[in-house]
Amino acid sequence: MRSDITAVVPTIGERTLSDCLAALKRQSMPPVDIVVIKNVSPFVAAMNKGIRRVRTPFLVQCDADMILDPDCLATLRSAMTERTGVAIGYLDDEILGTIQAVKLYRTANLKRSPFGDSVTSDSDRITKMREEGSWISFASREGPDHGHAADVLGCHRPHYDDPKYVYGKFSVMGSAVRNRNSYDEFQGVLHGLKKSAHPMADLALIAFCHGVFNKLEKCAHVGYEETEDFRFLRAFMEQHGHENRLFAITKLKGFDAAREVEKLQRG
């Protein structure tokens, strides 16, 4: 089958961008076009800008931190029936394990009704597709390949060595779970973080729970800003002797725990 897919790649400068693009070009069913949207935030603005440039019947949302297996697009495309609005594939994540993931959309659906400005923009759009009568398909190859299970179609490799990014990302994730009112998803993320051996898992767990109570509603940029909450958590955990690679990283970046603790004590 000839490809009828465009890849939309939003990026804010991830170091994995070149690997992401190389993986797209190595696909057994390579995309007709790769639309890279640079330095547009938040996510919905980047995706909607990319959607306007797509001229093929299908588009794959491939974030710059996704490294897709060579058969990913072909597997997603094979899951597309006449009634399917989006085909979903799982990815391997360093902290959470298997996650959702990479999505192949029917372009006409997104052009008719683009992503909305909410922290749950992607899941909101999929819910609307269901209401419009479209099916949601989960893609899987016939068996394990490329070091992954049959339904895992690549890797998710964000900046998990940057504690500020981890804190921001999982805070937003917690807010999204609250807005979706999804207790099963809440339990699933908690379980994944508690059993994770990744050195940032403790920080991610606390940030996720903080996000649940933060109730962020608008779509936000996940960046590297040192918020007051992040500085407090970092100083608090260090002050109480928390052993974690997080602190080896932050010390290399000039973090002075004693100064931060002094600030906390002064209020």
Across the chain, mean pLDDT equals 85
Task: Tell me what the mean pLDDT of segment 144-154 comes to.
Answer: 97
Alpha helices in the chain (DSSP H): 17-25, 43-51, 72-78, 107-112, 121-131, 163-180, 183-195, 201-214, 228-239, 245-252, 257-266
Task: Tell me what the mean pLDDT of segment 196-222 comes to.
Answer: 80
Q: pLDDT-based confidence at 249, cuts 50/70/90? A: very low
Q: What is the pLDDT of residues 72-115, one digit of tens each?
A: 999 999 999 988 999 999 999 999 999 988 999 999 988 988 88
Q: How many angstroms separate the CA atoms of 135 and 161, rounded?
A: 37
Q: What is the pLDDT of residues 4-42, one digit of tens each?
A: 999 999 998 899 999 999 999 999 999 999 999 999 888
Percent of the chain clearing pLDDT 90 (strictly above) = 49
Task: Tell me what the mean pLDDT of segment 129-150 comes to.
Answer: 91
Q: How many angstroms separate the CA atoms of 119 and 173, rounded?
A: 8
Q: Is pLDDT at 117 greater than 70 in this prediction?
A: yes
**pLDDT given at position 17:** 96
Q: Is pLDDT at 166 greater than 70 in this prediction?
A: yes
Q: Is 187 exposed, middle or buried (0-12, 13-18, 19+ CB in 10 A)?
A: exposed
**pLDDT given at position 256:** 55
Q: Is pLDDT at 122 greater than 80 in this prediction?
A: no
The domains found in the chain, sorted by start residue, are 5-156 (3.90.550.10), 163-266 (no CATH)
**pLDDT given at position 134:** 81
Q: How many residues does the chain have?
A: 267
Q: At what angle do helices 228-239 and 257-266 cross, to 10 degrees?
A: 110
Fill in the DSSP letter of residue 148: B
